Amino acid sequence: MASIWITWSTVVTQSIRIYALLALLSFMASGIWRSMHIPVSAPQSLMIHFYQHALGHLDGRSCPSYPVCSLYARQALQKHGWLLGSWLTIDRLIHEHDDLKDGNKKAEHIIVFEGQFRLYDPLARNDFWLNKK
Amino acid sequence: MRYSYILLFFYLLLPDIAIASQPSHQPAEQSAKQVYQHALHLAAQGKPSQAILALQVAHTLLPSSNIWQERMLAASELLNLKEKQGGNLPPIAKQNSYLNLAQSYLQTHPFTIKNDARLVGVLAALCPGAGHAWQGRWQDAGVAALFVFPLLILTLWAAKRRMGPVTVFFAFITLWLWSGTIFSAISLAERGHLESYIVWWQQLWQASGLPGQPW
């Protein structure tokens, strides 16, 4: 009888510990989520936030365009939803190579940002035709 | 003098204008010039419909002897052309030296579509990267091909091995990336079309001899 009671109390104690650990982790996760300012309605932004806050700093700000590709992708997803937004992001990743070639550079699309020359390529430059009648 | 009062009244109705800076008596020439400049400023700010309206109303108010009346009409026609992205000016009942100059420029320099978006889309669908290559964007074509071909090979390999859900997963990723490269090719054709149209239209405006730059 005593051994059953000991086993039962161990199970309960262990369950309470796991419960408390999960509650703490959930609280921390919600805190991190809140600090990242991710709207609940846009879970597709999570990957971009992960890139911006965790991975982006590892390789430095290497994007030659302005706004940077991650911000552009975020804007595209917020404005057009995940499918069109992701296509616009793919388009940005593809077209910046030839846009940066000397022959294709146009003076009105080159700006100086934080002391560096950047290709000014906002979302409006690429998604205007989606709203064309 | 009567026209200068009407124009001054209309000018004060336009937004973003400091009323205090207006002198009480202005010749019609000066008021018309201010309306014209303000309309061009609106067009440059991305409000072409407001600019066209201002120019058209001012055109109807001004006497035919006033040089600005001719300019208002020509400017509104050219802004209208840009709004519709048209390649031809409508016939004008009255002689207008600015529009005549624009018309003669149009005859020697018609706007031609460089890359048809539909053709580019079909090419990109047939072979990933071909749509970009058609537009002379060879590096972009290489990137587009790199996006699609590895996943396509992986999907075919998984299908050959009868990997079931794994094949479906790879197939969806390939579909997404392939459609993305087609979208990119079409988007670049549309963007290229608009940018070359704007350059052509700016040259048309300069050829017409109209003062100011509404861009």
Convert the pLDDT of each residue in A6-29 to its tens digit: 788 888 998 899 889 888 888 777
A94 CB within 8 Å of a chain B CB: yes
A68 CB within 8 Å of a chain B CB: no
Q: Quote the pTM value.
A: 0.72
pLDDT at B12 over 60: no
Question: Which residue ranges make up each domain of chain B?
Answer: 2-101, 117-196
DSSP string, A6-52: HHHHHHHHHHHHHHHHHHHHHHHHHHHHHHTT--TT-TTHHHHHHII
Gap from A93 CA to chain B (nearest CA, Å): 8
| A&B contacts, CB < 8 Å | 54
Nearest to B44 by CA among B202, B157, B192: B202
Contacts of B194 in chain A (CB under 8 A): 128-129
A80 CB within 8 Å of a chain B CB: no
Residues B149-202 pLDDT 10s: 999 999 999 998 988 899 999 999 999 999 999 999 999 999 989 888 999 999
Alpha carbon of B12 to those of A126, B26, B54, B171: distances in Å?
A: 37, 13, 12, 63
Q: Which residue in A91, A97, A101 is closest to B187 by CB distance?
A: A91
Can you tell me the distance from the alpha carbon of B119 to that of B182, in angstroms, rounded to the nearest whole number?
Answer: 11
